[in-house]
Amino acid sequence: MTKALIALDVSGCTSQPMEDQEEHKIPADLENLLPLMKELRRGNLQIEELSAPEVWEKLKRQCHTFLRCCCLFFHFLSDIIPPTELTVRDGDTWEVMCGYLNLPATFRELMDTPLARKKAMEWSSYSNKWFRGDLKPEVVLDPGEPPRLVPLPDDFSELMNVMSEFSCPNSEREDSKFPTMCLVCGQILCSQSYCCQIEVSGRGGVTEHVGAVVAHAAHCGAGSGVFLRVRDCELLLLAAAAPSRGAMLPAPYLDTYGETDQGLRRGNPLHLCPERYE
C-alpha cells in the first residue's frame, strides 16, 4: 500500500465541480488519504483537485494482485478454508480478501494510524530516486508477469528443423549429436558429450568437470532446470539438491492416438499438448 501511495499515477482522479458542497464533502474515513499521499511524496502532489474516493478505489485496484497472492500463500501455509466468495469468479473483492487475511478494509484502520504512518514515512525515505524524478511510475507499479516456460511450436518437426541448424560452439565442423533446449530461457546446448565440458567448483571447494547442461542449470535456475532433448523427444529434469542426478520424462508432444513417443521409435507425427506443457 505504501508503494502504491508513493508511485501511483492519480492524475486522472480529479473531482468534478459540484454546486452542492455536501455532495462534494470527503468521506470521514478518507479525509487524511490525500494529505498522507502528499506527505509521502515530499509535497510533490497537488491534492486540491483530486477525488479521495476515486484515489482510494485506484489504490485498491493496484494492490489487488498482491493481496490475491497473499490469500493463496496464507491458504497453503495455514490450511484455513477460504470463504465461498473466493472460490467463485470475480469473488476476490478487496473486502473479502482483507476479511480472509484478518486485515482492516478501510483506509482509516489500515493506514491512518500512528504506527502505520510512521512505517510508511520510513519506507518512503528509501525512495530518493523517485522524488528526484529519476524513476517513472511504470517502473515500480505493476508486478512482474508470472514465470512461464518458453513457447514451443505446435508441430514437432518444426522443432527438429530448428535443432538441425544448431552446431556445437566449440566445434565448427561437427553438429551436436544431442542438442538440448533449456525450457526456462530457450538456449540450445550440447548434451552427452565432452566438447562443452567446463570446470566448476563443487561442494567443499573441489573442482569437477560438468557438461554444458548442468553448468547452464547452475546459473539459469540455481542448479535446477527443465530441458528438452529434442532428438529423443524427452524431458530432462535437474534438481539443485542432486546436481549429478536427473530424471527423464516424455516430452509434451503426442501423436494422433494421444500417446507420447519417447525416443522417437514409432515415428508418427507429433503435436504439442498444451495441457501437458502447462
Among 85, 108, 140, identify where a domain stops: 140
Do 27 and 90 lie in a common domain?
yes
Give pLDDT, residue 22.
52
Inside any domain, residue 96: yes
Do 185 and 87 lie in a common domain?
no
Give the helix ranges, DSSP H, for 125-238: 128-131, 137-140, 156-164, 212-220
SS3 250: strand
Distance of CA 11 to the CA centre of its chain: 28
Q: Is the pLDDT of residue 100 over 90?
A: yes
Inside any domain, residue 148: no
Q: How far apart are CA 128 and CA 210, in angstroms?
A: 45
The residue that leads in pLDDT, 139 or 239, is 239
Do 130 and 164 lie in a common domain?
no
Do 128 and 218 lie in a common domain?
no
Do 131 and 244 lie in a common domain?
no
Q: How far apart are CA 276 and CA 278, in angstroms?
A: 5
Per-residue pLDDT tens for 179-218?
889 999 989 888 877 777 777 766 666 777 788 888 888 8
Q: How do beta strands 188-189 and 225-229 pair?
A: unpaired
Give pLDDT, residue 47.
80
For the segment 77-92, the average pLDDT, to the nearest whole number, is 88
Per-residue pLDDT tens for 229-238?
988 889 999 8
The residue that leads in pLDDT, 271 or 192, is 271
Give the helix ranges, DSSP H, for the chain: 2-7, 33-40, 52-78, 94-100, 107-110, 114-124, 128-131, 137-140, 156-164, 212-220, 274-277
The answer to whether 248 touches 236, Cβ cutoff 8 Å, is yes
In the chain, how many domains are there? 2
Buried/exposed 102-140: b ≥16 CB within 10 Å, e otherwise: eeeeebeeebbeeebbeebeeebeebeebbeeeeeeeee
Inside any domain, residue 151: no
Do 22 and 126 lie in a common domain?
yes
Do 70 and 186 lie in a common domain?
no
Q: Is the pLDDT of residue 137 over 80?
A: no
Do 7 and 133 lie in a common domain?
yes
Among 140, 173, 203, identify where a domain stops: 140
For the segment 18-31, the average pLDDT, to the nearest whole number, is 66
Q: How far apart are CA 229 and CA 189, in angstroms?
A: 10
Question: Which grid coordinates belong to 176?
Answer: 551436436
Do 115 and 13 lie in a common domain?
yes
Phi, psi of 270 (to 5 degrees): -120, 145
Angle at 5 between CA 72 and CA 107, to 5 degrees: 70
For the segment 134-146, the average pLDDT, to the nearest whole number, is 56
The answer to whether 195 touches 171, Cβ cutoff 8 Å, is yes
Containing structural domain, residue 269: 156-277
Does the pTM surpass 0.75? The reply is no
Give pLDDT, residue 139.
46
Q: How far apart are CA 165 and CA 175, in angstroms?
A: 8
Give pLDDT, residue 140.
47
Beta bridge partners of 200: 208
Do 81 and 112 lie in a common domain?
yes
What residues contact residue 210 under an 8 Å CB cut-off, 6+ apart?
Answer: 197, 198, 200, 218, 243
Do 51 and 15 lie in a common domain?
yes
